Amino acid sequence: MSKKLIRFDWAVKKLLRNKANFVVLEGFLSELLFDTIKIDKILESEGNQETDDDKYNRVDILTQNSKNELVIIEIQNTYEIDYFHRMAYGSSKALAEHLSLGQAYSEIKKVISINVVYFDLGQGKDYVYKGKTNFEGLHEKDTLQLSIQQKQTFTKKEVSDIFPEYYIIKVNQFNDIAKDTLDEWIYFLKNSEVKDEFKAKGLAEAKEVLDIMRLDKEQQYGYNRYLDYLHLKASEALSLQAEAEEKVRKDENYKKAIEIAKKLIKRNLSSEDIAEDTGLTVEQIEQLRSEKE
């Protein structure tokens, strides 16, 4: 039996920044990155401070793990056409903010950007994507490798280990069939539920920490306001989509009416009769007549 839990995005903003609850985030990161992840601390930067305009629509958290890597978890609820660009900006900004003045470039931290999106980002059939930087020879088609000295100096295996790494989880594209432990996490991200048979790291703790009944009155009020906001934004998005579709239909019907009117003009029908047959105004038909002449 499963029960409804607090949404992960609200929990990241309000509950999971507490060190006692790091185990939930650690479980999510461990399943996604196929590694045992330990969070040392939550970092603050200009990138993850709240603003009035963005405090509901976007949630992000910047952490530093035990490997001294920066991990950005960003959750976006509504469509943004330039979201890929924001991913690039966010990782670059985190990288630059954590290189102190006078430090060598070799001291930059590895950045892992994890993006949980509740809209259809780009075009693709999968619901989890990973991106990293490799350099391929234009002529030999080989992949550029680190030298032995670089591997020893920087303790890196691949060139891509130096550059930011990106993960995208397209939550709404998941079909609700959990085939592995990562899918169990994505099921939770989509449905805010943890099934009893789920074994993924961190979900047992999430089931306890994110129990709605554990919230005090003030937290419950804030959470309900957050849910109301998401419902409002979803309704606005649906309305905008319906308006756009209606505009397309009107444009198509208008084009068809124009073509029919042009044919009827050639047959010397009166403007009044053409208007009655096509739905165009007499003025629009007279304009078409003048263009023809």
Which is more confident, 250 or 117?
117
pLDDT for 223 equals 87
Indicate the burial class of 156 (C-beta count within 10 angstroms; 0-12, 13-18, 19 or more): middle
| pLDDT bucket at 258, cuts 50 / 70 / 90 | confident
**Mean pLDDT, to the nearest integer, of 267-292?**
82
Mean pLDDT lowest among 3-7, 137-141, 172-176: 3-7
Residues 132-152 have a mean pLDDT of 95
Integer CA distances (angstroms), 178 to 182, 187, 228, in order: 8, 7, 29
Residue 48's pLDDT is what?
Answer: 46
For residues 148 and 281, what is the distance between their CA atoms, to the nearest angstrom?
78
* pLDDT band with cut points at 50, 70 and 90 for residue 280: confident
Q: Mind listing the pLDDT tens digit for each residue in 36-60?
A: 999 988 886 544 444 444 444 556 8
pLDDT of residue 47: 45
pTM reported for the whole predicted model? 0.76
Share of the chain above pLDDT 90, in %: 39
| Domain map (residue ranges) of the chain | 8-214, 230-292
Mean pLDDT of 127-144: 95
What's residue 49's pLDDT? 46
* pLDDT tens profile 167-223: 999 999 999 999 999 999 999 999 999 999 999 999 999 998 888 878 888 888 888
- C-alpha–C-alpha distance, residues 32 and 165, integer Å: 13
Torsion of CA 187, 188, 192, 198, to 10 degrees: 100
